[in-house]
């Protein structure tokens, strides 16, 4: 399977007049299954367009302070080196590729700060001077050791893949989010109240963390962050392999059957759903006693039928969706003898590896069947 290409925003060294890169960024992405490339440091829109168009997602790296003029403040003495060229380049990539084309983006350290600023938020120009000194956010080397803990919001996308309420992180920054953008939601906080992770719920995948997972590559949480990001960059091709593989990636990341399936169809057929919309499928699945099982996957497939058909003909979409749902259920029953979660997993321990494998198969089979139905019965709505 083709590795997705990740454009990595470059670092800049004024003293050496040189573009450079920390190997951890590249290694973390490659180990997660991506193919990282370093983008050129330029403000040329033509150059950026030609290089960015081959990328499936973008990693916004750490580095310089963001120019305070971008969030309506004058530069204070406590603000350190800025790089206007980098600010301008990252704004172009963010607006044209991430926001307009809905490509995935992961921000690290400066990354969370530039996301917040470009979405209308502001920063502390220096945490000790303007916020608090109770936690040292700028640890001394080595940076591959933990500096402090953060509280994870378990209901956030990050919480769903980490499944821990508190984790330890490293810390190498003197700036941070002051006023958070209205477009972002918090995923993690330090004990002093500083925002440590955030995401954009109206975007398919826009996450950012304040710490440095690229310097903690042996840490399982760092691996999960890189893997989640790379998985989100799966190419949006309209074929069965994409839908099935994407759904399985989300399921293995910790999402329920229903939410994994709806996310996969959302990406494959560009349904236009945002983060909050996707939670509907999880709610439906839970209402049927799913917790990661067959009826949740079937529910999500049925929702996808309605969303695809409803693009052009709302009246006809109801009829088509009902017929498609019945066909899906019948074909699923032929494979598994039932569509009832309780019947299918009656004698299987709730959190066992056997149950997880069964659920994985239900996701795979439901998506395969539904994708065939979409190709055969909904072709007029796919153009």
Count other C-beta atoms under 10 Å from residue 138's C-beta.
Answer: 13
Q: Is the dihedral of CA 60, 64, 65, 68 positive or negative?
A: negative
What lies within 8 Å, CB to CB, of 285 at 6+ separation is 256, 257, 258, 259, 291, 292, 293, 295, 296, 297, 299, 300
User: What's the mean per-residue pLDDT of the chain?
Assistant: 88
> Which H or E element spans position 151?
strand 148-152
Contact of 280 with 265, CB cutoff 8 Å = no
Span 248-265, average pLDDT: 86
Q: Which domains does the chain have, with CATH numbers?
A: 5-232 (3.40.50.880), 240-381 (no CATH)
Residue 311 has pLDDT above 50, yes or no: yes
pLDDT digits (tens, 9 = 90+) for 146-177: 999 999 999 999 999 999 999 999 999 999 99
The per-residue pLDDT for range 114-124, each reduced to its tens digit, is: 999 999 999 99
Side-chain half-sphere exposure of 144, counting CA atoms within 13 A: 7
Contact 267, 204 (CB under 8 A): yes
Buried b (16+ CB within 10 A) or exposed e, 170-188: bbbbbbbbbebbebbbbbb
- What is the token pair recorded at 286? 């839970």
Instruction: Please compute the mean of the pLDDT values over residues 26-42 and round it to a whole number.
Output: 96
Please determine, for residue 281, whether its predicted confidence score (pLDDT) is greater than 70.
no
Answer whether residue 125 shows pLDDT above 70: yes
Under the banding of pLDDT at 50, 70 and 90, the label for residue 24 is: very high
Q: What is the mean pLDDT of residues 266-294?
A: 65
Vertex 123: Cα angle to 120 and 126 (nearest 5)? 170
Average pLDDT over residues 257-275: 82
Q: For residue 282, how many other CB atoms are within 10 A of its CB? A: 23
Q: 128 pLDDT exceeds 80?
A: yes
For residue 197, which phi and psi values (nearest 5 degrees)?
-160, 145
Residue 278 is predicted with a pLDDT of 67
**DSSP classification of residue 288:** T
The predicted pLDDT at position 383 comes to 54
- Cα 256 → chain centroid: 16
pLDDT of residue 180: 98
Which has the higher per-residue pLDDT, 1 or 274? 274
Span of 115-124, 220-229, 369-378 with lowest mean pLDDT: 369-378
Measure the CA–CA gap between 4 and 144, rounded to whole angstroms: 27
Is the pLDDT at 288 greater than 60? The verdict is no
- Residue-level pLDDT at 250: 85
| pLDDT range class, residue 285, cuts 50, 70, 90 | low
How far does CA 216 lie from the centroid of its chain? 19
Strand partners, 169: 148
| Res 172: pLDDT | 97
Please give the radius of gyration of the chain, using alpha carbons only, rounded to the nearest integer.
Answer: 22
């Amino acid at each position: 399977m083709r590795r997705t290409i990740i454009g990595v925003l470059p670092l800049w060294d004024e003293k050496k007049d040189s573009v450079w890169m920390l190997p951890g960024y590249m290694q973390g992405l490659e180990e997660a299954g991506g193919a990282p490339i370093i983008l050129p440091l330029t403000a040329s829109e033509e150059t950026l367009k030609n290089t960015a168009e081959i990328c499936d997602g973008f990693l916004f790296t750490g580095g310089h302070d963001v120019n305070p003029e971008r969030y309506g403040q004058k530069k204070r003495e406590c603000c350190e080196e800025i790089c206007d060229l980098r600010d301008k380049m990252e704004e172009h990539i963010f607006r044209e590729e991430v926001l307009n084309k809905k490509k995935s983006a992961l921000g690290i350290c400066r990354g969370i700060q530039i996301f917040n600023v470009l979405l209308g938020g502001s920063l502390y120009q220096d945490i000790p001077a303007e916020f608090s000194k109770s936690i040292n956010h700028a640890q001394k080397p080595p940076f591959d050791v933990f500096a402090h803990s953060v509280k994870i919001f378990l209901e956030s996308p990050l919480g769903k893949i980490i499944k821990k309420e508190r984790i330890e992180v490293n810390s190498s920054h003197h700036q941070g989010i002051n006023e958070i953008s209205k477009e972002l939601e918090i995923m993690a906080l330090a004990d002093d109240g500083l925002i440590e992770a955030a995401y954009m719920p109206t975007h398919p995948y826009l996450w950012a963390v304040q710490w440095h997972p690229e310097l903690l590559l042996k840490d399982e949480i760092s691996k999960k962050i890189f893997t989640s990001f790379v998985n989100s960059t799966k190419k949006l091709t309209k074929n069965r392999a994409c839908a099935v593989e994407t759904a399985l990636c989300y399921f293995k990341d910790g999402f329920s059957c229903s939410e994994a399936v709806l996310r996969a169809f959302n990406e494959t057929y560009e349904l236009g759903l945002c983060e909050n919309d996707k939670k509907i499928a999880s709610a439906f699945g839970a209402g049927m006693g799913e917790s990661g099982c067959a009826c949740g996957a079937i529910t999500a497939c049925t929702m996808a039928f309605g969303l695809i058909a409803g693009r052009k003909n709302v009246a006809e979409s109801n009829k088509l969706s009902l017929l498609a749902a019945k066909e899906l259920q019948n074909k699923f029953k032929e494979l598994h003898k039932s569509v009832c979660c309780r019947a299918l997993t009656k004698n299987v321990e709730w959190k066992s590896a056997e149950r997880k494998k069964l659920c994985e198969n239900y996701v795979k089979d439901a998506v395969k069947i539904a994708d065939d139905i979409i190709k055969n019965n909904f072709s007029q709505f796919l153009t």
